[in-house]
Structure 1
Amino acid sequence: MPDLPKEARAVVIGGGIVGCSTAYHLGKLGWTDTVVLERAKLTSGSTWHAAGLVGQLRTSANITQLLGNSVALYDRLEEETGLATGWKMNGGLRLACNEDRWTEVRRQATTAHSFGLEMHLLSPQEARDLWPLMDVDDVVGAAFLPTDGQASPSDITQALAKGARMSGVRFFEETPVTRILVEGGRIKGVETPHGTIACEIVVNCAGQWAREVGRLAGVNVPLVSVQHQYLITEKIDGVSSNLPTLRDPDRLTYYKEEVGGLVMGGYEPNPIPWAVDGIPDGFEFTLLNSDWDHFSDMMELALGRVPALAEAGIKELLNGPESFTPDGNFILGEAPEQRGFYIGAGFNAFGIAAGGGAGMALAEWVVAGEPPFDLWPVDIRRFGRPHFDTDWIRTRTLELYGKHYTIAWPGEEHDSGRPCRRSALYDRLKSAGACFGEKLGWERPNWFADLAAGEEAKDIYGFGRQNWFEAVGREHAATREAVTVFDQSSFAKFLVVGPDAEAALTWICAGNVARAPGRLTYTQMLNARGGIECDLTVARLAEDRYYVVTGTGFATHDLDWIRRNIPGGLNVQVVDVTSAYGVLSVMGPNSRELLSRLTRADLSNDGFPFGTVREIGLAGAPLMALRVTYVGELGWELHVPTEYVVNVYEALMEKGADLGVRPAGYRAIESLRLEKGYRAWGSDIGPDHTPLEAGLGWAVKLKSNQDFIGREALQVQAQRPMKKLLAGFTVDPDIVLLGRETIYRDGKRVGWLTSGGYGYTVGRSIGYGYVRNGDGVDRDYVVGGSYELEVATDRVPAEVFMEPLYDPSMSRVKP
């Protein structure tokens, strides 16, 4: 029986690569009294049978950086610990076998350049020179990342464990966690068959078991197990030890060298789930039965690329389940349901590539209580209500598994598990030609087809202007010239109530919310570094009541941020009321006239000025009207009790017929906001950007005497040259900007686009991005440069701007 300690500073559950990496980094950070509990033996879950490819490039700069941290760690780990890791930086090849894939690869190369990652584009013959065994008759081109590589999963995990032990971390195998003790909302310890360990921090790195371990603490971890197969051959002539890893996405397969032979696996479009009713007891160092019938399609595709496989001896077809998530990204962070409970799981078969960096980030998150940098793409708070249903999770996850190697089209929507969350208007909008997208389970109209003209409400994807381009232009023009109605019922909405509501929000919000009832405040919520954690609207309804509105996808994150930052001792409650209200945004120069036909409320500029909220009666409904806009036109958001939404919408469409009213979707909102220069959280702004850097200093109460989270950091920043500043760029309208295009100032790489799209009123493609300079950036520096953008490896001239491209005076029909 293991001699468990009575207490520990942190308990890590799971002895796979992520658990051992987290423990290693906790030890390096001085948390030497960390304990790792493994239910069986180290690596006995999915780590030991992982393929071991290590790639770095992702669509997020910070996740790419995190994977780069893995490579840097693996490069030094063997020397540090004296244990072999099997790590070799032999580079990685990625093939393109059609023009669309080649466009995707070229855009990936530009993304790599944006993030400072070395990536070279090769001809088919140049690719074959690096990988002589392959047939390249169908190859259009390839990309090569020289710093990618491969590792031995079990060896590198054992090396990380030794490194952790060298810092004082203790490991206990054959020690499953049976209970997590929680008292007064705080973690108090963990129970095992061998005793209880008192602790205040638990880190759930249990891999496929992470969902079950999460339940012990009342925490939801959205992942499921999927079968994943790969083949291992005997030695093959011509396979050298320095052969690069190879990904052949058009044939759905990957390859790496192993002991003179090849490992070949892939991501089939019809994956097989595993452990639907729970993982069997005693499942450790265990494989599933090989499924040659299911693998036959992969084999046929591989033979077309590597003919030598036809004559190669087969050692094994390995079938090992791994954990996957419903969006294809892994899961990190502190659980919103339980303080002190952290998760590192759901690595979607790239746990070896991510393990080193993910363990570093998670350890720093535990020690500091916040992530070391913006990790939103993998933050557990990106999930929400649909992710409590395991069947829904599995349905969506299987679709994402099947898309692992398909082309990632701009604006692509997923089909599975839909519809899930529908507003009251779903059927009416569908009948009106809505083509829906989905976010956090909500069905949201992206654009409207003209059904009478024979248009089909269906996306046809491509890297050029897609089939919805003209339809969105119509909606854009209607918003600028007449009036449109957007169904934004999916907005997340919270009530902050209680006698100390003002005090709590004054501390949490960077903007001034201590205003009279009836006033709106557009504000950010900052971290201690001054970075933007939330970007939202706060409406004061009464002395003790505020109404907070934020984006659909940020519901869990923003609610958690508000709740965890309420100072102790204050009498205030936060309630999620998202489902109680639908939202109809009525926007455009004719919006005042339309709404005036349906209400007796004074909607004049004097009677209802910008930045105010009123409770009014409209079309028989009691509702909150917010005078605010995200499209740059006169307009109101109508927050309508759910049972009245249909009536209000029908009245708007009936009374506005002669005013040119039409429904519009989210793609028009994106185009409109780009012209007006409104920022989008998660792309243009986030925890790594301050309001001063983002051009939002006007929204911060720095000149007041009110203290707030992040104030000190902003005061310090205001006294020093800034290192980056958000700017806008326009290019020729035929060039499609998507975001992540590289920014060059006077021929020098200075950043990348955070978002991109098209402005129909100005007739230009528009992008935003931060111009960086270690010696300091100000407005004069930004506008004083000559700019180019790299788009799919081609440089194109760009014009920089710092003021909005559009204001209502440009409208073709005056308000």
Structure 2
Amino acid sequence: MKAHVKALVVGGGAVGTSIAYHLGKAGWDTMLLERDELTSGSTWHAAGLLPYFNMSFATTHIHDYSIKFYKQLEAETGLNAGFSVCGNLRMARTQDRMDEYALYSSTAETVGVPHEWMTPAQIKDRWPLIRTDDLKGAIYHNTDGYINPADVTMAMAKGARQHGVTIERKWQVDGYEWTGSEWRVTVTKMVEKGGNLVASDEQTVITAEHVVTATGNHAQRTAQLLGINIPAIPVEHQFIVMEQDPALVEWRKTNPEHPVIRDADAQSYVREERGGWILGVYEKNAPARFEYGVPDSFRADLFQLDLERIEQQYMEMIHRIPSCEECGLKDDFNGPICYTPDGNPLVGPGPGLRNMWLAEGFSFGITAAGGTGYYLAQMMVEGEAEIDMASLDPKRYGSWMTTEFAARKNEECYDHVYILHHPDEERPAARPLRTSPAYDRQAARGAQFGWVNGWERPNYYAPEGFSDHDARSFRRGGWWQYAVEEAKAIREGVGLVDATAFTKHIVKGAGAAAFLDWFTTNKLPRVGRINLTYALTDAGTTRTEYTIVRLAEDEFYLVSAGAWTAYDADYLRKSIEDKEAEFGRIECQDVTTQWGVFAIAGPKSRDVLNAVIKDADPATALSNKRFPWLSAKQIELGMCPVNAIRVAYTGELGWELHHPIEMQNYLFDLLEKAGEPHGMKLVGARAQNWLRQEKSYRAFGNELGRDATPLEADLPRFVDLSKDFRGKDAMQTLGIRSKCVTLLIDGPDDADPWGREALYDGDTKVGRLTSGGYSVAFGKSIGMGYVKPELAEVGTKLKVRMQRELWDATVVEDSPYDPKNETIRKDG
């Protein structure tokens, strides 16, 4: 066994072997360790399906790469991966389900995934064994299908060896130690004893510059060894193999194999298996397993089948394929499949760790393995992947996440595989968990809460008895009318938004100013002023957006997106560690939970605050002269000390009121009472999202990310090219590959874009939306997105795909609402 390698991959399933293959192909000296045999985890009992269908832009890219990669493995390795390209038929019983497929189609279209639509008659004509009288239609992928998990893993393993990768079996990792420059990994030889796998007395240490964990069901043990949280916990997954179906056997004498048949409304999939059928289900009440680690006695084992739990899905299969009713049960599988709370894997740098990469939590591991290896290798070797992988980053869950939370959310995610995935869906398990003090007051006033990084945040406010679940839709849901009223309140009067979830850091010390000047793209503000700025990746793309408030010459208050607290904190702290010797002492504190935030905005916002501000001259305290736009001051509202920032994400006159979180209820009551004479409304995140698009304010995770630079986001005013900053040269080298634009859309009367739709110039796809919604200022749909630079001129006519049709869209000037910022600078 090698004593030192550049990259050590831990885990010999499909994911681990793919990562090893792609690192070896990139020229890295790589070794893979497996504690048992290759494929002995979930890989061996996986059904091997390769569905394209996924609502995530990044995950769709991953699946697309995998499907194409597996098709060329045999030519490279000489091993047949067992890929049956039979296609995938995803059926719909309701119009809502067809609407869901239309929304998915938008994402698939932007990635270039081939698919077609089928009517019930077309399905019946092509595959007469399928009952279609209760269907609305289907979406069909003819380029995917299913694969033999063991065969594809062995093919990737052989390919990895051909690229110089060493693969060692029966070695278990028992310790990780970071020396400051490399990892010391303690490994123990595993031996067979009485049918079990046990640790021997033989141990050794491997040093590695980089480590990748792809430990599947053993992720909780990995988390304990590393001292971090990894919300990847297995859930039981059942599928059954049936005896031969005579009708199917007869059909196959003269016809090709059926596609994988997905009856989403029945929570199941069916595929052929040697003249019979395999039925796999995603039923309710499937339990999480191994919350605190996999027992040593559990190897390539299974759980006892629970047929009662899947009885409904079995009857639905007979309904859909009547010929299978007389088929007996041939085999059954009930094994652990790892999940995460949102169903997407955890791929990227481990929190707080150097050169430790996670590839955990793969519920569709065979589908994702190839692409994960490709894009993770890009991140490790080149510094960034060609697509934005932030949505899969392990740090999207912070240190507040516990084992109990992950287990309950993973169970929910499993039984939500086939629910209608509304873009406005909110899942209820393990909620409420993180609540600001004003939560109960907001709930009493009709708040319908969304979930962001564990926080409960009002999405909108509705009358008593209103059901958020019933309000969801792929078009304009029942909540839409309330969001319209809230948006109008801010444009015409005054509204109050709870923005407590914002990420907040204090950076201070003798080296703070020099560090932040290097770390971010814009000029640093003067004391008492603020600026908007960006931290870049070393590849020159956007890593984080910050509002920086300069509290003193050597002290700064950084505000960033609420969904990305751990993600931002990790990058900030590691960057400080790297530069502190050069710039001097720097302290960094995450103060997110110490400060609540209310954003008050609208033409009457100053009137509300004037009624409660304590000042020698209250009438002028908030005037432009004493409190100009883009400045910050410490003020007193009643008895509450407030760090007020004159900025508004809605583009109206307004302030962010950062207050001690223990005083939040006092401040809420004070503002609510002061707002009554002015008709102040409580406003949720959905209206705010619409309003920021009217101002062309880019959002991190939408317009801003690791696949575009600030210049491509068309934000040169926040980039000071006269100074040196991290990623500057790389940003300039990339140039302008595409450009961010705002579009007004003449769409359907009952729907708005969601921010994942394809953009067309005639019949040519030229870009995609990254945000979408409704504009109360213009009375039509609005969106933001990226197009080829030559199509970014104001007035350019394009088309946007919504609900399978193309609708007119026009590129408008940046900040189509109040482009001169006259309302936001209004004096008083």
Q: 1:490-505 to 2 correspondence within 5 Å?
A: 490-505=501-516
Counterpart of 2:687, as a letter, is A
- Cα deviation per residue 1:593-631 (whole Å; 9 max; x = unaligned)? 221222245211111111111122221122211111100
The reply on whether 1:624 has 2:643 as its aligned counterpart is yes
Aligned partner of 2:279 among 234, 247, 264: 264
Preserved contact between residue 733 and residue 758 of structure 1 (Cα < 8 Å): no
The reply on whether 1:444 has 2:441 as its aligned counterpart is no
Preserved contact between residue 722 and residue 777 of structure 1 (Cα < 8 Å): no
Q: 1:770-785 to 2 correspondence within 5 Å?
A: 770-772=786-788, 777=790, 779=792, 782-783=793-794, 785=796
Counterpart of 2:534, as a letter, is Q
Residues 409 and 327 of structure 1: CA distance in aligned 2, closer, same or farther (over 3 Å): same
- The CA distance in 2 between the partners of 1:222 and 1:134, in whole Å, is 39
Preserved contact between residue 47 and residue 153 of structure 1 (Cα < 8 Å): yes
- Cα deviation per residue 1:549-592 (whole Å; 9 max; x = unaligned)? 11111111111121222343142122110111111111111112
Counterpart of 1:737, as a letter, is P
Preserved contact between residue 744 and residue 788 of structure 1 (Cα < 8 Å): yes
Aligned to 2:135: 139
Deviation at 1:30, TM superposition (A): 0.6
Deviation at 1:180, TM superposition (A): 1.1
* Count of residue pairs brought into register by the alignment: 796
- The CA distance in 1 between the partners of 2:293 and 2:382, in whole Å, is 35
Counterpart of 1:685, as a letter, is L
- The CA distance in 2 between the partners of 1:640 and 1:783, in whole Å, is 41
Aligned to 1:154: 150
- More moved, 233-242 vs 435-444: 233-242
- Cα deviation per residue 1:16-59 (whole Å; 9 max; x = unaligned)? 0000010111110111x311111111100100100001122422
Aligned to 1:409: 422
- More moved, 411-420 vs 301-310: 301-310
Aligned partner of 2:216 among 207, 219, 223: 207
Aligned partner of 2:810 among 796, 799, 810: 799
Preserved contact between residue 235 and residue 286 of structure 2 (Cα < 8 Å): yes
Deviation at 1:184, TM superposition (A): 4.5
Counterpart of 1:218, as a letter, is G
Aligned to 2:293: 278
- The CA distance in 2 between the partners of 1:466 and 1:113, in whole Å, is 24
Residues 606 and 814 of structure 1: CA distance in aligned 2, closer, same or farther (over 3 Å): closer
- Cα deviation per residue 1:134-189 (whole Å; 9 max; x = unaligned)? 11111111111111121100011011111111122111111111111233586333
- The CA distance in 1 between the partners of 2:139 and 2:761, in whole Å, is 26
Preserved contact between residue 494 and residue 605 of structure 2 (Cα < 8 Å): yes
Counterpart of 1:674, as a letter, is Q
Counterpart of 1:109, as a letter, is S
Counterpart of 1:691, as a letter, is P
- The CA distance in 2 between the partners of 1:656 and 1:292, in whole Å, is 58
- The CA distance in 2 between the partners of 1:447 and 1:96, in whole Å, is 30
Aligned to 2:705: 686
Aligned to 2:390: 376
Tell me the TM-score normalized by structure 1: 0.94
- More moved, 179-188 vs 600-609: 179-188
Aligned to 1:27: 24
Aligned to 2:572: 562
- The CA distance in 2 between the partners of 1:369 and 1:190, in whole Å, is 27
Tell me the TM-score normalized by structure 2: 0.93
- The CA distance in 2 between the partners of 1:185 and 1:432, in whole Å, is 54
Aligned to 2:732: 715
Residues 185 and 212 of structure 1: CA distance in aligned 2, closer, same or farther (over 3 Å): farther
- The CA distance in 2 between the partners of 1:447 and 1:185, in whole Å, is 49
Aligned partner of 2:103 among 101, 104, 107: 107
Residues 169 and 520 of structure 1: CA distance in aligned 2, closer, same or farther (over 3 Å): same
Q: 1:617-766 to 2 correspondence within 5 Å?
A: 617-702=636-721, 704=722, 706-717=723-734, 722-732=737-747, 734=749, 735-766=751-782
Aligned partner of 2:588 among 574, 591, 602: 574
Residues 766 and 802 of structure 1: CA distance in aligned 2, closer, same or farther (over 3 Å): same
- The CA distance in 1 between the partners of 2:78 and 2:733, in whole Å, is 44
Counterpart of 2:339, as a letter, is F
Residues 732 and 357 of structure 1: CA distance in aligned 2, closer, same or farther (over 3 Å): closer
Residues 365 and 110 of structure 1: CA distance in aligned 2, closer, same or farther (over 3 Å): closer
Counterpart of 2:760, as a letter, is Y
Residues 643 and 188 of structure 1: CA distance in aligned 2, closer, same or farther (over 3 Å): same
Q: 1:445-460 to 2 correspondence within 5 Å?
A: 445-451=458-464, 460=471
- The CA distance in 2 between the partners of 1:116 and 1:498, in whole Å, is 49
Residues 62 and 509 of structure 1: CA distance in aligned 2, closer, same or farther (over 3 Å): same
- The CA distance in 2 between the partners of 1:726 and 1:88, in whole Å, is 42
Aligned to 1:345: 360
Aligned to 1:71: 67
Counterpart of 2:784, as a letter, is Y
Counterpart of 2:599, as a letter, is S
Aligned to 2:9: 12
- The CA distance in 2 between the partners of 1:39 and 1:695, in whole Å, is 50
Deviation at 1:456, TM superposition (A): 6.0
Preserved contact between residue 9 and residue 200 of structure 1 (Cα < 8 Å): yes
Q: 3-state SS of the aligned residue for 1:323?
A: strand
- The CA distance in 2 between the partners of 1:778 and 1:365, in whole Å, is 30
Aligned to 1:292: 307
Counterpart of 1:744, as a letter, is Y
Residues 456 and 226 of structure 1: CA distance in aligned 2, closer, same or farther (over 3 Å): closer
Residues 642 and 186 of structure 1: CA distance in aligned 2, closer, same or farther (over 3 Å): farther
Preserved contact between residue 484 and residue 588 of structure 1 (Cα < 8 Å): yes
The reply on whether 1:433 has 2:430 as its aligned counterpart is no
- The CA distance in 1 between the partners of 2:298 and 2:468, in whole Å, is 47
Query: Percent identity of the aligned residues?
Result: 37
Aligned partner of 2:530 among 516, 520, 526: 520
- The CA distance in 1 between the partners of 2:349 and 2:673, in whole Å, is 48
Preserved contact between residue 53 and residue 256 of structure 1 (Cα < 8 Å): no
Aligned partner of 2:630 among 611, 623, 631: 611
Aligned to 1:195: 204
- The CA distance in 2 between the partners of 1:810 and 1:613, in whole Å, is 18
- Cα deviation per residue 1:267-319 (whole Å; 9 max; x = unaligned)? 01222222345321131211111222222122111111111221223221111
- Cα deviation per residue 1:324-356 (whole Å; 9 max; x = unaligned)? 1101111101112211111111111x1111111
Counterpart of 1:424, as a letter, is P
- The CA distance in 1 between the partners of 2:291 and 2:57, in whole Å, is 35
